[in-house]
A = this chain, B = another copy of it.
Amino acid sequence: MASIKDVAAEAGVSVATVSRVLNDHPSVSADARTRVLTAVEALGYRPNAVARSLRTDQTHALGLVISDVLNPYFTELARSVEEEARALGYSVIIGNADERPDLQDHHVRTLLDRRIDGLLVSPTDGGSPLMLEAARAGTPMVFVDRWIPGVDVPVIRTDGRAAVRDLVAHLHGLGHRRLAIIAGPAATTTGQERVGAFREALRAYGIELPDSYIGQGDFQAESGRRVTEEFLRLPEPPEVVFAADNLMTLGALDAIRARGMRVPHDIALAAFDDVPWFVHTDPPITAIAQPTGELGRAAVRALVDRIEGRPSTSVTLPARLVVRRSCGEPSQSRRSTP
């Protein structure tokens, strides 16, 4: 592959001049410029980004570590991140942690070794020493969706409390009183918050959330199935299952079907995270929708601000309830349609 030296030789100028032309430096004569451009064209020359990065100490690459690529929520997040990054002149390198702290660390390490300009992460756990150290050492970093308390890093996330209250109002209006939740891992902020918000919303109606109605999931479909089976074996099973993410909802649906029960006739089901497929499931699922695209874009903007030395702050966006048919007949006060 042709290097800058070859171009310089071909154009009859120094490599410095070639570099200046390539970087749109103002002080280059028109003549030199055209000769360089001609040589570039003739040789099919493309600058070596590796060499440039070493010299400038910038890679124009952002790292994104997400918890699970197979989760459509994160996939949509990744897409919006890449879009915004591209618009700002960065490319993004995605690492999939698969909800495994060790894999998450592997990707953080690889990304850091590759000297990405900044790191976007949705942590799977409470934070490894590696990640904590990176944040402390001043690596530009931003948390998206999930975050780690006590670390001084901007957080771009959704506040689902109002939407959870709307959901509980909807369920209560439908006559449901025994409500259960499939929680996410306690090590994640979203895992904890969603249970908290649910419990708080129930309290407003004088409803308790007993321990037997809190199932411990891990944001994966299989755990949703397992927890739901446990719920259904209870002497007094819940009338509603609220799953803290879209994949556990799928598992819950499986478990309910396997029992020969029907949603919403025999049991109601609702989800945190709305995904396109929820319109097509049987029945369509009532869900809490996050502004995923906006989340990704805001996260990139915050990170790039940090990288380029501008101040950046945390952003919290509201979620909203999307009522469909999985909890029973939509009430008069439905908030949205599929």
A69 interfacial contact with B, CB 8 Å: yes
Chain B residue nearest to A76 (CB atoms) is B70
CB <8 Å contact, A112 and B75: no
A115-B49, A281-B282 known; A91+B69 contact, CB < 8 A? no
Docked CA distance A78–B78 (Å): 13
A282-B281, A282-B282 known; A75+B79 contact, CB < 8 A? no
In A252-294, the 8 Å CB interface with B consists of 253-254, 276-277, 279-283
CB <8 Å contact, B114 and A46: no
Nearest Cβ on chain B to A127's Cβ, whole angstroms: 16
Docked CA distance A277–B75 (Å): 15
Docked CA distance A223–B174 (Å): 37
CB <8 Å contact, A49 and B280: no
In the complex, the count of this chain's copies comes to 2
CB <8 Å contact, B72 and A72: yes
**A216 / chain B contacts, CB cutoff of 8 Å:** none
**A1 / chain B contacts, CB cutoff of 8 Å:** 137
Chain B residue nearest to A277 (CB atoms) is B277
A50-B114, A277-B280 known; A79+B72 contact, CB < 8 A? no
Nearest Cβ on chain B to A279's Cβ, whole angstroms: 8
Nearest Cβ on chain B to A115's Cβ, whole angstroms: 5
Docked CA distance A282–B281 (Å): 6
A135 interfacial contact with B, CB 8 Å: no
**A106 / chain B contacts, CB cutoff of 8 Å:** 86
**A91 / chain B contacts, CB cutoff of 8 Å:** 93, 110, 114
Query: Which A residues fall within an 8 A CB radius of B?
Result: 1, 44, 46-51, 53-54, 59, 61, 69-70, 72, 75-76, 78-79, 82, 86, 91, 93-94, 96, 106, 109-110, 112-115, 133, 137, 221, 250, 253-254, 276-277, 279-283
